Amino acid sequence: MKKILASFCFFSLLLAAACAINPVSGKYELSLISEQQEIALGKEADLEIRSQYGVYDSSSLNEYVKKVGLTLAPHTHRPHLVYHYAVLDTPVVNAFALPGGYIYVTRGILVMMNSEAELAAVLAHELGHVNARHSVQRLSKLLLVQIGMNVGSALSETFAQISGVASIGIQLLFLKYSRDDEREADALGVEYARKGSYDPGEMVSFFSSLQKLGDLSGGHSLPGFLSTHPLTSERIQNVQASLIESDRQLMTKPTAYLKSIANIVFGDDPRQGYVEGNTFYHPGLRFSFSFPRDWKLQNEPSQVVLASKDGKAATILQVEKSSENLKDYASSKAAELENNYFINEQSLTINGLNSFQHLYDIGRPEKETLRARITHIKKGAYIFSFYALSTSDDFSKYDFQFGTLVGSFNELRDRSHLNRQPQRLKLIQANGRQTLQQIFMNSGLKKDLWAKMAIMNGMEIDQIPKQNQLVKIVR
Ligand SMILES: [Zn+2]
């Protein structure tokens, strides 16, 4: 319901078209959204982003990013805006900004950086997008996106509605900036970083590392930095050309930065769920279920989504704390689906857990009717809801697979699955004699991570780090 309301507000905002002065260019442009509306929109979308992707659980790291951001804000073209900063709990490498001054970096992008000035450069680039109102302009190009899943067009609308990808905040993240926007944000980023006393040259080293690593967003619902901020060699050259001699005198602060990210979670965090074979385990919420071998699974903080290989069947699992009676809970959830036609319902027990299941057809004007089998399972303080979706014509083909998937839902008790811990970033002080590769080898770092870790350290694998230099490894 919240999501439907959000899109309604957005479309009513669109009606208030007017001409406004762009804060950066000083030129008049057709602006669909006033600054007040822009801030309101950002605030609404911020809640969606936080609930969908989760904020990283370290107040000191969040404070550190905010402190660097606050150093830059007074030097922007819109210093009166209240800027908000957050570290998102995902291994995806990205940084992005929402209208109104909401700026995010992922823990995945933080492990890539090697100095406070690199962080400042990325924040300054995002501040550039906010100040030039690029994201506001992008709103007029709003499209309904299909998340990285292979969900066929017949299912996409209803799928998007249930899974929340139809909400504005989430869609904004999938829109690509244009080359001109990127060029402008880079130039503003250099300007803001320099005025904030950070060496803007660090933007070059960071962009080069990103380029070497390629797009790391694969397999996650959040797109990566390179897919939303197209990075070209020309961009890097432009930034390089805009540097001046005195920039080198400015702050870089590698040690302060590295110490602030020491111990940060690296890669996927198994405590938030992981797949082994064709079983999904969630140690945090203590459950597991199995899914058909050729289906794709995507684990998000707010839900798990699955799709068949042909994209004609999908299942969404959502979890909510609720003390409501299962049948009442089921009716309130069904009421959120528009044009639903009740078919049947039953109470059942799944591996000893009380459950309630109902079947609906969902009518859509001039489109195939969808069928949804919704199963709510009570486990402890939580209700787990599986939405199994297909067209009503295809439903019988997938019904057995839906039933097997939901029927395999079980309490997770096995210690070996419950006690999985994530890998974390550690720092090693170099002795000035060993190469990066020797340091990796001695630390027990797996060989398949060497190349990536070298890039993450901004070095070549055969280079010798200086004495006392901090080297990143994972453990
Ligand atoms: Zn950008």
Q: Are 278 and 290 in contact (CB under 8 A)?
A: yes
Q: 193-197, 219-223, 291-295 — which is least confidently predicted?
A: 219-223
Rounded to the nearest angstrom, the distance between the alpha carbon of 225 and the centre of ligand 1 is 8
Rounded to the nearest angstrom, the distance between the alpha carbon of 182 and the centre of ligand 1 is 5
302 — pLDDT class (breaks 50, 70, 90) = confident
Rounded to the nearest angstrom, the distance between the alpha carbon of 223 and the centre of ligand 1 is 13
Q: Is the pLDDT of residue 145 over 50?
A: no
Rounded to the nearest angstrom, the distance between the alpha carbon of 72 and the centre of ligand 1 is 17
Q: % helix / strand / coil in the chain, to the nearest 5? A: 40, 25, 35
Q: Is the pLDDT of residue 346 over 90?
A: yes
Q: 127-141, 146-160, 341-355 — which is least confidently predicted?
A: 146-160
Rounded to the nearest angstrom, the distance between the alpha carbon of 185 and the centre of ligand 1 is 6
Q: Which residue has the higher pLDDT, 302 or 260?
A: 260
Rounded to the nearest angstrom, the distance between the alpha carbon of 260 and the centre of ligand 1 is 25
Rounded to the nearest angstrom, the distance between the alpha carbon of 107 and the centre of ligand 1 is 18
pLDDT computed for residue 7 by the predictor: 36
Rounded to the nearest angstrom, the distance between the alpha carbon of 197 and the centre of ligand 1 is 21
Neighbours of ion ligand 1 (CB under 5 A): 182, 185, 229
Determine the distance from the C-alpha atom of residue 450 to the mean position of all C-alpha atoms in its chain, rounded to a whole number: 26
Rounded to the nearest angstrom, the distance between the alpha carbon of 73 and the centre of ligand 1 is 17
CA-CA-CA-CA dihedral for 136, 138, 141, 147, to nearest 10: -120
Rounded to the nearest angstrom, the distance between the alpha carbon of 241 and the centre of ligand 1 is 18
Average pLDDT of the segment spanning 303-327: 92
Kindly tell me the burial class for residue 42, based on how many C-beta atoms sit within 10 Å of its own C-beta (0-12, 13-18, 19 or more): buried
Rounded to whole angstroms, the Cα distance separating 83 from 188 reads: 16
Q: 210-219, 260-269, 332-341, 450-459 — which is least confidently predicted?
A: 210-219
Rounded to the nearest angstrom, the distance between the alpha carbon of 405 and the centre of ligand 1 is 41
CA-CA-CA-CA dihedral for 387, 388, 389, 392, to nearest 10: -120
Rounded to the nearest angstrom, the distance between the alpha carbon of 126 and the centre of ligand 1 is 6
Rounded to the nearest angstrom, the distance between the alpha carbon of 176 and the centre of ligand 1 is 9
Q: Which residue has the higher pLDDT, 217 or 359?
A: 359
Q: Are 166 and 158 in contact (CB under 8 A)?
A: no
Rounded to the nearest angstrom, the distance between the alpha carbon of 315 and the centre of ligand 1 is 34
Residue 434: which of 466, 391, 400, 394 has the closest Cα?
466
pLDDT computed for residue 226 by the predictor: 86
Rounded to the nearest angstrom, the distance between the alpha carbon of 101 and the centre of ligand 1 is 14
Backbone angles phi, psi at 394, to 5 degrees: -85, -15
15 — pLDDT class (breaks 50, 70, 90) = very low
In whole numbers, what is the pLDDT of the chain averaged over residues? Answer: 88
pLDDT digits (tens, 9 = 90+) for 32-63: 578 888 898 889 889 888 988 889 999 999 99
Rounded to the nearest angstrom, the distance between the alpha carbon of 215 and the centre of ligand 1 is 14
Provide the 3-class DSSP secondary structure of residue 299. Answer: strand
Residues 6+ apart with CB under 8 A from 339: 362, 363, 364
Provide the 3-class DSSP secondary structure of residue 121. Answer: helix
Q: Is the pLDDT of residue 146 over 60?
A: no
159 — pLDDT class (breaks 50, 70, 90) = confident
Rounded to the nearest angstrom, the distance between the alpha carbon of 459 and the centre of ligand 1 is 24
Rounded to the nearest angstrom, the distance between the alpha carbon of 230 and the centre of ligand 1 is 7
Residue 284, both tokens: 């945090």
List, in sequence order, every residue forming a beta bridge with 305; answer none if it has no partner.
298, 316
Rounded to the nearest angstrom, the distance between the alpha carbon of 330 and the centre of ligand 1 is 43
Rounded to the nearest angstrom, the distance between the alpha carbon of 303 and the centre of ligand 1 is 28
Rounded to whole angstroms, the Cα distance separating 445 from 443 reads: 6
Q: Which residue has the higher pLDDT, 166 or 348?
A: 348
Rounded to the nearest angstrom, the distance between the alpha carbon of 343 and the centre of ligand 1 is 49
Rounded to the nearest angstrom, the distance between the alpha carbon of 178 and the centre of ligand 1 is 9
Rounded to the nearest angstrom, the distance between the alpha carbon of 370 and the centre of ligand 1 is 39
Rounded to the nearest angstrom, the distance between the alpha carbon of 195 and the centre of ligand 1 is 19
Residue 423, both tokens: 């890998």
Rounded to the nearest angstrom, the distance between the alpha carbon of 329 and the centre of ligand 1 is 43
Rounded to whole angstroms, the Cα distance separating 6 from 299 reads: 24
Rounded to the nearest angstrom, the distance between the alpha carbon of 143 and the centre of ligand 1 is 19
Percent of the chain with pLDDT over 70: 87
pLDDT digits (tens, 9 = 90+) for 378-409: 999 999 999 999 999 999 999 999 999 999 99
pLDDT computed for residue 218 by the predictor: 62
Can you say whether residue 133 is alpha, beta or left, with left for phi > 0 and alpha for psi between -120 and 50 degrees?
A: left
pLDDT computed for residue 28 by the predictor: 64
Q: Which residue has the higher pLDDT, 228 or 399?
A: 399
Rounded to the nearest angstrom, the distance between the alpha carbon of 69 and the centre of ligand 1 is 16
Q: Is the pLDDT of residue 99 over 90?
A: no
